[in-house]
Amino acid sequence: MSTNYDLTLQKKTEILLNEHVYPMLKHYPNAEKFALCQEIKQTFYRILRNCALFKNAAAQHKMPYLRAIDAELQYGKILFNISRDQRYITKKKAYFLQMQMEELGRILGGLMRSVRTY
């Protein structure tokens, strides 16, 4: 039951992390390097980890990994809102990141629907 959605979710997460999040985090103040920055990175790592676990899980055990990814996406949005409120990122950058996270959420929703039908 491997679909293109699971690969797409993982690849788009990697691209978002490497091309947008890492460069953005370099501009955070030093006081946040081991707090907010670390939490944002860990959120993305957990998403990628759950993508890998999802791909290798038996069909009847896939849904918990998708729910974990959904929770991490929601948490990531909250962290980006905090970054915006603290003025570590601009409103435009925060909006862009929110849209990217919502795209990942739509892909995830498709995966959840396909897992439920099995």
CATH number of 80's domain? 1.20.1440.60
- With DSSP H G I counted as helix, E B as strand and the rest as coil, what are the percentages for the chain, rounded to 5? 85, 0, 15
Mean pLDDT over 49-78 rounds to: 95
Cα-to-chain-centroid distance, residue 21: 11
The count of domains in the chain is 1
pLDDT-derived band of residue 7, with 50, 70 and 90 as boundaries?
Answer: confident
- From residue 101, give the alpha-carbon distance in Å to each of 23, 80, 113: 17, 10, 18
Region 50-54: mean pLDDT is: 94
Percentage of residues of the chain with pLDDT beyond 90: 85
Domain range for 23 is 4-116
- pTM (two decimals): 0.91
For the chain, the average pLDDT equals 92
